[in-house]
Amino acid sequence: MVEPRAEEGWQAGARCTDAALPSPAASLAGCRGAGQRCCAGLGALVLLAGVSVGSWLLVLYLRPATSQPTPGTLQDEEIPSSCSETSGAEALFPTLSRTVSFRINSEDFLLEAQVRARPDWLLVCHEGWNPALGVRICQSLGHLRLTHLKGVNLSDIKLNSSQRFAQLPPRLEGFLEEVWQSRNSCASGQIVSLRCSACGARPLASRIVGGQAVAPGRWPWQASVALGSRHTCGASVVAPHWVVTAAHCVHSSRVPRLSSWRVHVGLVSHSAVRPHQGAVVERIVPHPLYSSQTHDYDIALLRLWTPLNFSDTVGAVCLPAKKQDFPRGSQCWVSGWGHTNPSHTHNSDTLQDTLVPLLSTELCNSSCMYSGALTPRMLCAGYVDGRADACQGDSGGPLVCLDRGTWHLVGVVSWGRGCAEPNHPGVYAKVAEFLDWIHDIVRFPQVSLISAPQSRYEAQRAPLGEAKRGAVVPLGGR
């Protein structure tokens, strides 16, 4: 779907489109040129062999039916040879060498560690432990906060005779992930129990059969950012006081007053929304390095005046866990109230969702797609044939992926060329690149928008010339 160009100036909720890229027709022609040359050569051989033109055309007519793609999968057959994925499972979130992994037992909230890739999980000794370490563990697992920490007596729990323990050294030096030691017992006689802020869970809500509309509670973190009663962008609840959206939704010198903004949660339909309903926005914090030209760092946090009441239909999504891997082809979900049909010029009244696979940055930055416009703070997801995509009105909304029963906010709807166009999948802000910034803003909410600590993130800025400056311009899009 080709989106209408926005009027000059700021337009809330506008998804951004790359006007400098070649047209879809030109892109497809460039991708298929090699195939056409092969077909021409094949036709010449057939003619030389004495096969009739009619038989040759019949073969060409029947050929597409032999390679129908399976919904929800990536197939090399549906990608032109010059636009094909590289072999292997490229990780969108590169794996760093780690010597310890953590998890929290869901039954008794005991912290467990897997040290140096041992197959067994070790209980963590309480000696040397403090709340700051608990916060770091929670954040490394994708949670925003530590909510409970205590030492549990070993005599109060049943242990296997082979159970071993992980312990911090008396003097903690170096990285937390590299200093753990395996022990046969805990000198203190206690192990660590901790709880983190709840996130990433949802009630068992079934999807409406035969359509894209979703049932209440299917995506409890889905939020709508509105000006008055008018939906402008999607957002994701990450804590009772905080939602994440796209910076381009709220970043402008002509942005309306804070009192005009509302955040609606627990919605399926917008038809019942009235002015002055919804949570009042207290503070808008776009990323200090956001670029309106390239849409790099396209992420923002909104702080609400009053905390949200979590329920079966309202809850938080987890952030990505540090060092978490989501390889290309991972099946993820994008949701929102954006356009549902190329011929529509208005948002959907009901919440929609669609399944999209993650694509490699190498493919999306190829000449057949976005020609290097994606920076390390971006990822793309969708289908090469354009069968499903986010669209206008979906900006700022969540791209979530399921990992071991927990939903993580992997991307924020940001920009793209049109909606569901072949060779132009949706582009998202990569949330994993902004974890330190999110934690800092949530931890120090009193920091004003003007005095936000920009210097801490200067090292993350893309090198000059890394992205094509001016290649992305605001259009009436996502």
**Each residue's pLDDT tens digit, 71-97:** 333 333 344 444 655 444 455 554 444
Q: Which one is catalytic: 143, 248, 270, 408?
A: 248
Q: Which one is catalytic: 296, 298, 353, 403?
A: 298
Determine the pLDDT at residue 325.
78
* 8 A C-beta contact, residue 427 and residue 434: no
Determine the pLDDT at residue 64.
37
Phi, psi of 368 (to 5 degrees): -80, -15
Residue 231 annotated as catalytic: no
Structure tokens at 3: 């989106």
pLDDT top residue among 88 and 154: 154
Report CA Rg, the chain: 25
Structure tokens at 246: 């796209």
Cα separation, 408 vs 320, in Å, equals 5
Residue 76 annotated as catalytic: no
Determine the pLDDT at residue 156.
92
Q: Please tell me the least confidently modeled range out of 179-188, 259-268, 302-311, 338-347.
A: 338-347
Q: Is the pLDDT of residue 23 over 80?
A: no
Determine the pLDDT at residue 446.
63
Q: What count of Cα atoms within 13 Å lies in the side-chain half-sphere of residue 414? A: 32
Structure tokens at 144: 């925003």
Residue in the block written with tokens 């049109």: 418
In the structure, what pLDDT confidence band is assigned to residue 249 with cuts at 50, 70 and 90?
very high
* 8 A C-beta contact, residue 378 and residue 290: no
Q: Is the pLDDT of residue 118 over 80?
A: no
In the structure, what pLDDT confidence band is assigned to residue 386 with cuts at 50, 70 and 90?
confident
In 116-204, at which residue ranges do the beta strands (DSSP E only) sit?
Answer: 122-124, 146-153, 165-167, 181-183, 190-196
Give the pLDDT confidence of 393-444 residue by residue, as tens digits: 799 999 999 998 999 999 999 998 888 888 999 999 999 999 999 999 998 8
Cα separation, 67 vs 58, in Å, equals 16
Determine the pLDDT at residue 71.
30
Mean pLDDT is highest, among 35-39, 52-56, 304-308, 443-447, for: 304-308
Average pLDDT, the chain: 74
Q: CA angle at residue 142 from 137 to 148, to 5 degrees?
A: 50
Burial of 167 (0-12, 13-18, 19+ CB in 10 A): buried
pTM score: 0.73
Determine the pLDDT at residue 474.
30
Which domains does the chain show, CATH number per domain? 100-196 (3.10.250.10)
Mean pLDDT confidence for 210-215:
58
Q: Please tell me the least confidently modeled range out of 257-271, 394-408, 455-469.
A: 455-469
Name the β-bridge partners of 112: 103, 123
- From 407, 426, 420, 290, select the one nearest 358 (Cα to Cα): 426
pLDDT top residue among 237 and 210: 237
Determine the pLDDT at residue 428.
97
Residue 259 annotated as catalytic: no
